[in-house]
Amino acid sequence: MFAFIINKTSGNGKGHRVWKRVEKILEQEDLPFVARFTEGPQHAQEIVKDLSRKNLKTIIVVGGDGTIHEVANELAYKNISLGIIPAGSGNDFARCIGVPMNPLKALERIIANEKKQVDLLHLGHQYCLTVTGIGLDGQIAKNVNDGAYKKFFNQLRLGGLSYVVSLLETLRDYKPTNVQITIDGVDMTFSNVWLVAVANAPNYGGGITICPDASYNDGFLNLCIVHGIKKWELLRLFPKAYRGKHTTEKNVTFLQGKEVQVSSGNSIMVHSDGEQMTVSPIHIRIKKDALQVV
């Protein structure tokens, strides 16, 4: 039996359209399934709790990174695999682990049932699959989620552009700040920090390759710290980051470790998998093989 959790509103209605295609195939192939639909934030978590009692082997999300984030938080360290049929606007996690963007190909992959273990970032009270961003990108995530333009760009099937618009909007007023980082017990201070990205996987924000060397199964977290540059230099860097070509820039520092603490004088915004979450200080640990994915 396949259990599906569907966010019909993902990708501004793409969740619904994708589900209709998947449902048709399941019916044609006579595959038994149960389908549950999310009704709002955190509902996916409730559905997982309920489905977990039914002795299922796999729970499949039809949705985007926000829905996957909620479901993965419930499935961590459980003997239930996560399947993904991408239907969001960013789909960064699916992209990172090689899930096909075509829903029917993604379904085929789930049916093939080739399990792999995936690391997760642990942020104390919750897990993150892709990137936790502290500073400018935390503020950008908040503005994307608050802003009406996400819906607009999703309608045009250009969801990734929401982040570009939010970057420009956020940059108008954002001030860089000094940040203290302790990584695997080593203290460092960085001045005029725009952002600290803590990555389990290379991509976020709809395809920005912030930490090209990050890998979801190497047992390490990767940091990208952008500091000590002017606003216009940051704007010059931004398009390069889509291709992961910002790695040789002078004021972009990359670190790797297993545990990191990030703090600053003033509290700065933190997002996790693109959802605005909390404010600094934040303590993050890598949890090796915490999630099973098909």
Ligand X SMILES: Nc1ncnc2c1ncn2[C@@H]1O[C@H](COP(=O)(O)OP(=O)(O)OP(=O)(O)O)[C@@H](O)[C@H]1O
CB of 111 to ligand X, least distance (A): 22
41 vs 239 by CB, closer to ligand X = 41
Q: Rounded to an integer, what distance in angstroms lies between the CA atom of residue 89 and that of residue 205? A: 9
Residues 248-277 vs ligand X: string with x where CB under 6 A?
--------------------------xx--
Residue closest to ligand X (Cβ): 64
Using CA atoms, how far residue 37 sits from 27, 88, 267, 274, in Å, is: 18, 15, 36, 22
By the rule CB under 6 A, 9 interacts with ligand X:
yes
Does the protein bind ligand X through residue 132 (CB under 6 A)?
no
Alpha-carbon 230 to chain mean position: 27
Task: List all residues 6 or more positions away from 50 whose beta carbon is below 8 Å from its beta carbon.
Answer: 36
Q: Going by DSSP bridges, is the β-strand pair 2-6/58-63 parallel, antiparallel, or unpaired?
A: parallel
SS3 of residue 270 by DSSP: strand
* Chain position carrying tokens 């961003």: 133
Q: State the minimum distance, in angstroms, from the CB of residue 44 to ligand X.
A: 6
CA distances from 234 to 180, 192, 263 (A): 21, 12, 22
Q: Is 64 in the site for ligand X (CB under 6 A)?
A: yes
- Which position among 47, 63, 122, 224 is part of the footprint of ligand X (CB under 6 A)? 63
Stretch that binds ligand X, among 85-93, 185-193, 233-241, 252-260 (CB under 6 A): 85-93
Burial 186-200 (b: 16+ CB within 10 A, else e): eeeebeebbbbbbbb
Residue 89 touching ligand X (CB under 6 A): yes
Binding segment (CB under 6 A) for ligand X, from list 2-10, 120-128, 175-183, 227-235: 2-10
- 88/176 with CB nearer ligand X: 88
Q: Closest distance between ligand X and the C-beta of residue 192, in Å? A: 30
133 is a contact residue toward ligand X (CB under 6 A)? no
Residue 280 binds to ligand X (criterion: CB under 6 A):
no
Contacts of residue 145, Cβ cutoff 8 Å, sequence gap at least 6: 274, 275, 276
The site for ligand X (CB under 6 A) is made up of 7, 9-11, 38-41, 43, 63-67, 88-91, 159, 274-275
